[in-house]
Amino acid sequence: MDNSLYLISFILTMSVATFATRATPFILFHKQGEHPVLVFLGRYLPPAIMLLLLIYCVKDINWFVGKEGVNELTALTVVTVAHLAFRNPLISILLGTGLYMFLKQGS
């Protein structure tokens, strides 16, 4: 099998698998949308995942050595302020990512 056909079949397989994993909960639980466990998970899981991602992103920064962590702390502050001001995750993510990339290019 040549590389192009292999890549196309791989992408198609991964697309079908991703769609199936995203659609399966909606198909299986369409009548149980108000189940207390699902309501609990829907309310508390997204902030918990975001907190875990934040911890993972800043875990290797040595905050007490020189200027290490200044770019990260600045971008994190901008994301926090933007989110509190606009309550729009897309704006917060774009501003924080853009600022961080700008700061990293300068350092």
Q: Clarify whether residues 10 and 27 are in a common domain.
A: yes
- Domain, as residue range, for 9: 1-31
User: Taking 90 as the threshold, does the pLDDT of residue 89 lie above it?
Assistant: no
Residue with the larger pLDDT of the pair 12 and 50: 12
Q: Based on the structure, what is the number of domains in the chain?
A: 3
Residues 3 and 42 in one domain: no
Tokens of 79: 């994301």
Question: Based on the domain organization, do 68 and 103 belong to the same domain?
Answer: yes
> What is the spatial distance between Cα 92 and Cα 96, in angstroms, rounded to a whole number?
6
Tell whether 24 and 38 lie within a shared domain: no
Same domain, 70 and 85: yes
Euclidean distance between CA atoms 85 and 27, whole angstroms = 37
Same domain flag for 23 and 54: no
Number of neighbours of residue 72 by Cβ within 10 angstroms: 17
Q: What pTM was estimated for this model as a whole?
A: 0.60
Per residue in 38-87, pLDDT (tens digit) is 789 889 998 899 899 889 988 988 877 877 788 888 999 999 999 999 99
